[in-house]
């Protein structure tokens, strides 16, 4: 736990504006969104050298419990060992390259991983145990040394992280200052109540470009102006030397640009207001006072409602703290949860990617059912969220993310146009430029 000099838990997130970095003025090369040579460089220089998330730690209860993740052309296996430690391995049999585990989630029978092809088997710590007809193999092959190949594994935020580069920077260092900021959120207590993966007809960078700017919000997400501040004049944008970035967006009330719209504000926020003991109709004519009113009520009633807000400052009780972690993860922290967004590389096509959306709810203590103002629906922690997998549009990721997904396929096609010359970026899109500058640095590393 991060503490102050007086050994008291730190309260709140550091809101200080980070110094703006020097940004390049080089145009983005549109071919980087489809060129196979560049796509291969991304795999060799970025995907195999950056920290990625394999699973949530709460998916592992007993030795032998496992989760697999398709990541590019690799399949990562995360499994709990007999010692209770979660480890990641390459999910491949050392005999002739068969995929060892074909299920996404499960538990190894008898704590053994047995190849479905020739029945070589390993224990859940990755140690080889069985080689059928072992005397038939030449002794020089040293079969007994063919343990599963481990992948560097570390933990933060309730997640199991892996990095295919054994010489990589430690996870915590690579995440700074984001990890230090977000330690005040009870992320390990959050429960996944929505789990959707789509195969999108767009390059992964369009996803990260999108979440690195809020310029599109007023038009692509018109409903958000009734519940959050989207105007750049009243938001804050930060870019850190680690390559990560942040946006601070006030929430819990309509944008300062909104005049009227009270029925829509109540439609979106009314259930949440009532949960916190506020009568929506009392705020007619003064909706812009709602943010401070919600902060007061949450501070007053938090413990009674089952929330420990002792490490939250007032802004955390209403606002949106949106972090984009290089290269491909976005964490959008709300007072009661986290919108978790990730684009994964496609195994064969640079013009496709897999896009994962999780909603992680922080439930009030003693309650298994709760109205989520973000999802605008009731969520239940008693039933594990099923993994919904399909194409864009097959499953909803919530109204706002659905609107984003509807854009990216058309943008991918349009980037091929001879009529598109180069990007024109507003100041509030600086995080997009910073993302591409950092991507170029990683590509050019030895």
145 and 221 housed in the same domain? no
How far apart (Å, rounded) are the C-alpha atoms in residues 348 and 355? Answer: 15
Q: Domain range holding 72?
A: 52-156
Q: Which tokens go with 29?
A: 């090369």
User: Is residue 325 within 8 Å of residue 331, measured between CB atoms?
Assistant: yes
Asked whether residue 6 carries a pLDDT value surpassing 70, the answer given is no
Boundary residue ending a domain (101, 124, 156) = 156
Average pLDDT for 226-246: 96
Omega within 30 of 0 (cis) for the link into 408 = no
Inside any domain, residue 214: yes
By CB atoms closer than 10 A (0-12, 13-18, 19+), residue 227 is: buried
134 and 66 housed in the same domain? yes
Inside any domain, residue 7: no
Q: How confident is the model at residue 378 (pLDDT cuts 50, 70, 90)?
A: confident
Average pLDDT for 246-255: 96
Q: What is the pLDDT of residues 300-329, one digit of tens each?
A: 999 999 999 999 999 999 999 999 999 999
253 and 394 housed in the same domain? yes
223 and 308 housed in the same domain? yes
Q: How confident is the model at residue 2 (pLDDT cuts 50, 70, 90)?
A: very low
Nearest to 205 by CA among 402, 351, 45: 351
Inside any domain, residue 219: yes
Average pLDDT for 349-361: 97
Q: What is the pLDDT of residues 107-133, one digit of tens each?
A: 999 999 999 999 999 999 999 999 999
Predicted local distance difference test score (pLDDT) of residue 8: 63
Query: How would DSSP label each residue in 340-370?
Result: EEEEEE-SS-TT-EEEEEEEEE-PPTT-SEE
Boundary residue ending a domain (97, 125, 156) = 156
125 and 113 housed in the same domain? yes
User: Is residue 38 within 8 Å of residue 124, measured between CB atoms?
Assistant: no
Q: Which tokens go with 174?
A: 């690579």
Residue in this structure with the two tokens 């481990």, named with its chain if needed: 150
Inside any domain, residue 162: no
Q: Which tokens go with 298?
A: 């949450």
Average pLDDT for 164-170: 97
Average pLDDT for 224-232: 93
Strands of the sheet with 320-325, listed across from one edge? 236-239, 245-249, 320-325, 329-334, 337-345, 353-361, 191-200, 387-391
What is the CA angle 218-222-225, rounded to 5? 75
What is the CA angle 411-414-420, rounded to 5? 120
Q: What is the pLDDT of residues 210-226, one digit of tens each?
A: 999 999 999 999 999 99
Query: How would DSSP label each residue in 373-401?
Result: TTTTEEEESSSPPPEEEEETTSS---HHH
The pTM assigned to this predicted structure is 0.95
How far apart (Å, rounded) are the C-alpha atoms in residues 345 and 305? Answer: 41
What is the CA angle 216-222-227, rounded to 5? 110
237 and 384 housed in the same domain? yes
- The count of domains in the chain is 2
Mean model confidence pLDDT for the chain: 94
259 and 114 housed in the same domain? no
User: Is residue 229 within 8 Å of residue 256, measured between CB atoms?
Assistant: yes
How far apart (Å, rounded) are the C-alpha atoms in residues 79 and 162? Answer: 12
Q: How confident is the model at residue 150 (pLDDT cuts 50, 70, 90)?
A: very high
By CB atoms closer than 10 A (0-12, 13-18, 19+), residue 251 is: buried
Main-chain dihedrals φ then ψ at residue 58, nearest 5 degrees = -75, 0
319 and 361 housed in the same domain? yes
Nearest to 273 by CA among 260, 256, 286: 286
Inside any domain, residue 210: yes
User: Which of helix, strand or coil describes residue 246?
Assistant: strand
352 and 405 housed in the same domain? yes
Q: Kindly report the number of other CB atoms within 10 A of residue 446's CB atom.
A: 3
Omega within 30 of 0 (cis) for the link into 327 = yes
Predicted local distance difference test score (pLDDT) of residue 4: 40
User: Is residue 124 within 8 Å of residue 116, measured between CB atoms?
Assistant: no
Inside any domain, residue 3: no
Percent of the chain having pLDDT more than 90?
91
45 and 56 housed in the same domain? no
User: Is residue 108 within 8 Å of residue 79, measured between CB atoms?
Assistant: yes
Inside any domain, residue 24: no
Q: Which tokens go with 233?
A: 């004049």
Inside any domain, residue 22: no
How far apart (Å, rounded) are the C-alpha atoms in residues 185 and 312? Answer: 8
141 and 204 housed in the same domain? no
- What region, left, alpha or beta, does residue 343 occupy, with left being phi > 0 and alpha being psi -120 to 50 degrees? beta
Please list the helix, strand and coil fractions of the chain in percent, rounded to the nearest 5, in that order: 30, 25, 45
Q: What is the pLDDT of residues 177-203, one digit of tens each?
A: 999 999 999 999 999 999 999 999 999
The enclosing domain of 136 has a CATH number of: 2.102.10.10
The enclosing domain of 386 has a CATH number of: 3.90.380.10
Give exposure, 272-283, as e/b (b: 16+ Cβ within 10 Å): bbebbebebeeb
Average pLDDT for 34-55: 98
Boundary residue ending a domain (98, 131, 156) = 156
Q: What is the pLDDT of residues 67-105, one digit of tens each?
A: 999 999 999 999 999 999 999 999 999 999 999 999 999
186 and 147 housed in the same domain? no
């Amino acid at each position: 736990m991060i503490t102050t000099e007086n050994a008291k838990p730190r309260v709140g997130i550091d809101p200080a504006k980070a110094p703006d970095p020097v940004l390049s003025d080089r145009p983005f090369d549109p071919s980087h969104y489809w060129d196979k040579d560049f796509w291969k460089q991304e795999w060799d220089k970025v995907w195999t050298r950056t920290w990625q998330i394999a699973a949530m730690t709460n998916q592992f209860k007993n030795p032998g419990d496992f989760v697999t993740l398709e990541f590019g052309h690799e399949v990562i296996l995360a499994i709990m060992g007999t010692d209770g430690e979660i480890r990641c391995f390459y999910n491949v049999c050392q005999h002739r390259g068969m995929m060892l585990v074909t299920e996404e989630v499960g538990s190894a029978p008898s704590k053994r991983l047995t190849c479905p092809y020739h029945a070589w088997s390993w224990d859940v710590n990755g140690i080889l145990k069985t080689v059928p007809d072992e005397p038939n193999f030449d002794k020089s092959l040293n079969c007994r040394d063919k343990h599963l190949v481990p992948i560097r594994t570390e933990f933060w935020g309730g997640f199991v992280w892996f990095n295919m580069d054994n010489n990589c920077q430690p996870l915590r260092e690579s995440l700074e200052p984001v990890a230090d900021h977000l330690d005040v959120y009870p992320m390990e207590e959050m429960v996944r109540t929505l789990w959707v993966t789509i195969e999108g007809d767009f390059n992964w960078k369009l996803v990260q470009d999108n979440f690195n700017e809020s310029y599109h919000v007023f038009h692509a997400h018109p409903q958000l102006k009734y519940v959050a501040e989207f105007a750049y004049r009243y938001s804050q944008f930060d870019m850190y030397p680690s390559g990560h970035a942040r946006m601070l967006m006030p929430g819990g009330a309509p944008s300062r640009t909104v005049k009227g719209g009270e029925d829509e504000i109540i439609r979106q926020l009314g259930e949440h207001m009532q949960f916190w003991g506020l009568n929506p109709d009392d705020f007619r004519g003064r909706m812009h006072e709602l943010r401070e009113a919600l902060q007061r009520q949450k501070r007053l009633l938090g413990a009674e409602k089952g929330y420990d807000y002792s490490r939250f400052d007032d802004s955390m009780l209403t606002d949106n703290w949106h972090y984009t972690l290089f290269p491909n993860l976005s964490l959008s922290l709300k007072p009661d949860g986290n919108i978790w967004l990730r684009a994964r590389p496609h195994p064969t096509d640079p013009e496709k990617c897999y896009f994962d959306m999780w909603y992680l709810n922080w439930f009030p203590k003693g309650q298994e059912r709760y109205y989520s103002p973000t999802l605008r629906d009731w969520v239940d922690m008693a039933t594990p969220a099923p993994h919904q997998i399909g194409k864009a549009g097959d499953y909803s990721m919530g109204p706002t993310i659905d609107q984003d997904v509807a854009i990216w396929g058309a943008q991918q096609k349009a980037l091929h146009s001879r009529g598109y010359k180069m990007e024109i970026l507003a100041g509030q899109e600086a995080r997009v430029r910073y993302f591409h500058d950092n991507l170029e640095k990683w590509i050019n590393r030895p």
